[in-house]
Amino acid sequence: MYAVADADARLVLRCQSNDLAAFNDIVARYQHRVYGYVCRMVGHTPEAEDLTQETFVKAYQGIRTFQSRASLNTWLYRIATNLCIDYARRAARTRGMTESLSAERPGEEHEGDLELPDVRFDPLTITLNHELQAHLNEAIEGLPQRLRAVLLLHDIEGLAYDEIASAVGCPLGTVKSRLFHARMAVRGRLAPYIAAIPSPAHAGLAVTR
Amino acid sequence: MMDCSRVHPLLSGHVDNALSPREALEVERHLGGCHACASLLNELYKSVAVTRSAPRALAPEGFMEALALRLEQEEARSRQLSLAGLLVWLSSRRAMVWGAAAAALALVALTLRSAPPPSPGALDAPPPEVASVRLVKEHHVALSIASPLEDLSAANLSAHFHADAQ
Q: Inform me whether the pLDDT recorded for B31 exceeds 80.
A: yes
B37 to chain A, minimum CA–CA distance in Å? 7
**Is residue B53 within 8 Å of residue A127, measured between CB atoms?**
yes
State pLDDT tens for residues A108-150: 443 333 333 333 444 444 566 788 889 999 999 999 999 999 9
State whether residue B64 sits within 8 Å of chain A by CB: yes
Of B13, B54, B60, the CB nearest to A128: B54
Of A34, A111, A194, the CB nearest to B50: A194
Higher pLDDT, A161 or B84: A161
Q: Would you state the pLDDT for residue A104?
A: 47
B57 and A35 within 8 Å at the Cβ level: the answer is yes
Instruction: Give the mean pLDDT of A86-93.
Output: 88
How far, in Å, CA of B118 to CA of B136, rounded?
A: 27
Closest CA to B1 of B19, B21, B28, B39: B28
A119 and B58 within 8 Å at the Cβ level: the answer is no
ipTM exceeding the 0.85 mark: no
State whether residue B37 sits within 8 Å of chain A by CB: yes
Q: What is the pTM of this model?
A: 0.67
**Is residue A44 within 8 Å of residue A38, measured between CB atoms?**
no
Higher pLDDT, A203 or A41: A41
Kindly report the length of chain A: 209
**Is residue A66 within 8 Å of residue A75, measured between CB atoms?**
yes
Assign B154 a pLDDT band (cuts: 50, 70, 90).
low
A10 to chain B, minimum CA–CA distance in Å? 21
How far, in Å, CA of A179 to CA of B51, rounded?
A: 12
B12 and A180 within 8 Å at the Cβ level: the answer is yes
Of A48, A136, A207, the CB nearest to B50: A136
